[in-house]
């Protein structure tokens, strides 16, 4: 029997509207490289992936200019309308290579501070799991349920986690869950597609430096974290 393999999938076809920059945020410069180069080189240097399938917008002029786009472990797929469409497209691009039982780690291009520690911790925590799971962080702030500017109540924080990436699921069940959920706007991460199937993905506590670059101030924060990371 073939041993189970690991593949990374990187959705990188967003426009970065909230970043309000002159180009998609994955192509902004951060500590001497673009955001997406940091992300991809960190995934590649984790040393566990057969290949990294990257979903890129078909109108993207920046991607072919990057050396990493020609890396022999990088596969380019066409991006889709929503993040879930981009992930599904990247999964389809490796359908002749991956087995249903292989593990897929989906990681946002916009999270360049991902560490090998977090990748290996996620893999080690879930290797024997039937479903898979995600890196997540508990919330430090008190959380309010609000309607029309007024507080209706306080949520029980112990049950609330913030979903990060990578999110790790089996190739076959992830692809099927995304196909069934296609067009459903409630599917904002991979776990939600599996939850819709009645499955219960696991939570693995991630590092707080694995931030997603979303707004302009996040670039300086990512640079700060990179300067202070030692793995
Ligand atoms: N993404 C994608 N395909 C889409 C939309 C998003 O591959 N149709 C990717 C983004 O490139 C990013 C990740 O999904 O790496 C997380 O999405 P988000 O942070 O929301 O990025 P954007 O959609 O680009 O940003 P915004 O929502 O501010 O426009
Ligand atoms: Mg978005």
Q: DSSP assignment of 130-164, as one string?
A: SSEEEEEEE--S--EEEETTEEEEE--GGG-EEEE
Say if strands 74-78 and 49-56 run parallel, antiparallel, or are unpaired: parallel
Q: Output the CA 95–ligand 1 centroid distance in Å.
A: 23
Residues with Cβ within 5 Å of ion ligand 2? Answer: 14
Q: Output the CA 80–ligand 2 centroid distance in Å.
A: 12
User: Is the link from the previous residue into 166 a cis peptide, with omega within 30 of 0?
Assistant: yes
Instruction: Render pLDDT for 159-206 as a digit per residue (tens, 0 to 9).
Output: 899 999 999 999 999 999 999 999 999 999 999 999 999 999 999 999
Residue 111 has pLDDT above 80, yes or no: yes
Q: Which atom of ligand 1 is nearest to the CA of 108?
A: 15
Q: Specify the pLDDT at position 144.
A: 96
pTM of the model: 0.97
Quick one: how far is CA 107 from the chain centroid? 2
* Residue 231's pLDDT band (cuts 50, 70, 90): confident
Tokens of 175: 């692809």
Q: Is residue 28 part of a domain?
A: yes
* Ligand number, closest to the Cα atom of 109: 1
**Residue recorded with tokens 């472990």:** 73
Nearest to 29 by CA among 213, 208, 166, 165: 213
Q: Is residue 1 part of a domain?
A: no
Domain count, the chain: 1
Q: Is residue 151 part of a domain?
A: yes
Q: Give me the CATH number covering residue 190.
A: 3.90.550.10
What CA–CA distances, in Å, run from 109 to 26, 60, 91?
A: 6, 14, 15
Question: What residue numbers bound the domain in which 133 lies?
Answer: 6-228
């Amino acid at each position: 029997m073939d041993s189970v393999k690991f593949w990374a999938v990187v959705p990188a076809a967003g426009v970065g509207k909230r970043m309000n920059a002159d180009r998609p945020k994955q192509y902004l410069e951060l500590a001497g490289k673009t955001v997406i180069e940091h992300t991809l080189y960190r995934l590649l240097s984790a040393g566990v992936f057969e290949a990294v399938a990257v979903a890129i917008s078909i109108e993207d002029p920046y991607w072919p200019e990057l050396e990493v786009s020609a890396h022999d472990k990088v596969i380019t797929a066409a991006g889709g309308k929503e993040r879930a469409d981009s992930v599904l497209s990247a999964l389809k691009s490796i359908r002749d290579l991956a087995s249903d039982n292989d593990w897929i780690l989906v990681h946002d291009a916009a999270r360049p501070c991902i560490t090998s520690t977090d990748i290996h911790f996620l893999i080690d925590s879930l290797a024997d799991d039937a479903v898979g799971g995600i890196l997540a962080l508990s919330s430090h702030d008190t959380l309010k349920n609000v309607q029309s500017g007024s507080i209706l109540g306080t949520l029980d924080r112990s049950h609330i986690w913030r979903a990060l990436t990578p999110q790790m699921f089996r190739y076959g069940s992830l692809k099927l869950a995304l196909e069934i959920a296609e067009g459903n706007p409630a599917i904002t991460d991979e776990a939600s597609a599996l939850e819709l199937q009645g499955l219960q993905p696991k939570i693995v506590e991630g590092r707080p430096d694995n931030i997603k670059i979303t707004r302009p101030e996040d670039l300086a924060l990512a640079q700060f974290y990179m300067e202070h990371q030692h793995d």
